[in-house]
Amino acid sequence: MKHRIYRHKPVLFCLILFFLLSDVFLTGCSRRTEPQTETGFYFNTVISITVYHPKDAVYLEDCFSLCDTYEKMLSRTVEGSDIYRINHSSGEPVAVSEETARLLEQACNYARLSGGKIDPSVALLDDLWNFSGQAGTESAQKRIPADADIQSVLPHINYKNIHIENSTVTLDDPMSQIDLGFIAKGYIADRLKELLKANGVQSALINLGGNVVVLGSKPDGSPFTIGMQKPFDEQGKAIATLSLSDSSLVSSGVYERYFRQDGRLYHHILDPASGYPVENGLLGVTILSGSSMEGDALSTTCFVLGLTEGMKLIESLPDIEAVFITEDYQLHPSSGLSGKLFEATS
């Protein structure tokens, strides 16, 4: 299997989902289907793209070029990006790309769907907690922000302050700051899938830091088997597996970025109303969908809604399935996953 680090930077957080390698890497197949993989570091995470025919490897370079384009467009920390310019506009209108405007509209739609429990203008609060780069590990350097600091930024978190007209974005509150972290990776994964498909690639696996998208099936026609990570398991064991063909699997959970203080867990999924991590008895939510952007946004949305309201939302949406993991490590699948979810035996 070809393996090359396309961009080299320190790894800041682990993958959410782990592949079951014995199933993914096609044992017993001919050499013509030997996987070709490229890895890199974008969007503050390790990403990997695998194709299963040697002729398709030529398109991997194009995929990483596209990742670079989107990082320079959507990252709030890359100077000159669309989001950076909006955040530093002091409330003045900013002309952005059509893609940025559409994605920001989608982010606001999910904010409305959640009743404001997720919000793309949460960046100031994210900065206070500073979970960036803190994936699946604990650190004594992390600390709880002062409550006064938290309360000072909460009035500036309101997606309704984001006005989009054609490709112009205006922040009514100049202090507001946008972060598309709960939706951008899913959007980009979908665009990577489109790029490969447009070039005739029939079998591929895309992993953007746990946002997993599969194009088609494996070359032998069988589905990919993807493992859902068991929360907090240091060996990265799977708690369950799902079979995927031409679809997406995305998870959000308390075990991705967190720290403990005085015996209490603090994680990166923050409540815009209180300013503190969401506490609702869930460890994680995994979404199975056709669109990774939809799965990305819904995984966070359903987590903050909780088991009852989150499941109600999933059951109301066509062609979307979910698995909720509660604090007792019990799995709660949506009705459409009956017979398709396989719990790990150990």
Residue 78 pLDDT: 96
Q: Is 22 or 81 the better-scoring residue by pLDDT?
A: 81
CA 74 to each of CA 80, 172, 178, 204, 279: distance values in angstroms, whole numbers, following the listed order: 10, 20, 10, 25, 29
For residue 338, the model assigns a pLDDT of: 84
Mean pLDDT of the chain: 89
At 44, the pLDDT band (50, 70, 90 cuts) reads confident
Distances, alpha carbon 185 to alpha carbons 1, 79, 93, 202, in Å: 25, 19, 25, 22
| Residue scoring higher pLDDT (153 or 30) | 153
Q: What tokens does 165 get?
A: 């007209």
Placement of tokens 């017979």 in the chain: 339
Rounded to whole angstroms, how far apart are CA atoms 244 and 25? 14
Residue 210 is predicted with a pLDDT of 83
Gap between the Cα atoms of 227 and 22, Å rounded:
11
Residue with tokens 């782990």: 18
pLDDT at 273 (0 to 100): 94
* Distance, CA of 241 to CA of 345 (rounded, Å): 11
pLDDT higher than 80, residue 301: yes
Say yes or no to pLDDT of 238 above 80.
yes
CA angle 318, 321, 322 (to 5 degrees): 140
> Which residue type is seen at 268?
H
- Give the length of the chain: 346
Quote the pLDDT of residue 33.
Answer: 60
Rounded distance between C-alpha atoms, residue 97 and residue 120, angstroms: 18
pLDDT at residue 133, rounded to an integer: 53
Of 24-33, 201-210, 239-248, minimum mean pLDDT range: 24-33
159-173, 253-267, 292-306, 315-329: segment of lowest average pLDDT = 253-267
Mean pLDDT value of segment 285-302: 97
- Indicate the pTM of the whole model: 0.89
115 vs 120: CA distance, rounded Å: 13
Average pLDDT of the residues in 266-271: 96
Q: Is 90 exceeded by the pLDDT of residue 142?
A: no
Three-state DSSP state, 337? helix
Which residues line the annotated binding site?
296, 300
Q: Who's near 258: CB < 8 A, 6+ residues apart?
A: 131, 134, 136, 138, 265, 266, 267, 268
Checking if the pLDDT of 201 tops 90, the result is yes
Q: Two tokens at 257?
A: 């970025």
Region 57-67: mean pLDDT is 97
Phi, psi of 239 (to 5 degrees): -90, -25
Amino acid at site 216? G
Cα dihedral 44/131/242/1 (nearest 10): 30
pLDDT at 131 over 70: yes
pLDDT over 50 (residue 171): yes
Rounding to the nearest 10 degrees, give the CA dihedral for residues 210, 214, 217, 219. -80
DSSP readout, 71-130? Answer: HHHH-SSSTTSHHHHHHTSTT--EE--HHHHHHHHHHHHHHHHTTTSS-TTBHHHHHHHT
Q: What pLDDT shows up at residue 12?
A: 30
Q: How far is CA 85 from the centre of its chain?
A: 23
pLDDT above 70: percentage of residues in the chain: 88
Q: Which residue has the tokens 């606001």?
A: 108
Binding residues for Mg(2+): 296, 300
The predicted pLDDT at position 4 comes to 40
Q: What is the pLDDT of residue 17?
A: 40
Residue 95 in this model has a pLDDT that exceeds 70: yes
Asked if 128 contacts 150 with a C-beta cutoff of 8 angstroms, the reply is yes
Record the tokens describing residue 13, joined without a space.
């957080």
Mean pLDDT across 205-211? 92
Residues 7-36 pLDDT 10s: 333 333 333 344 443 344 433 444 456 899
How far, in Å, CA of 228 to CA of 54, rounded? 29
State the pLDDT at residue 31. 46
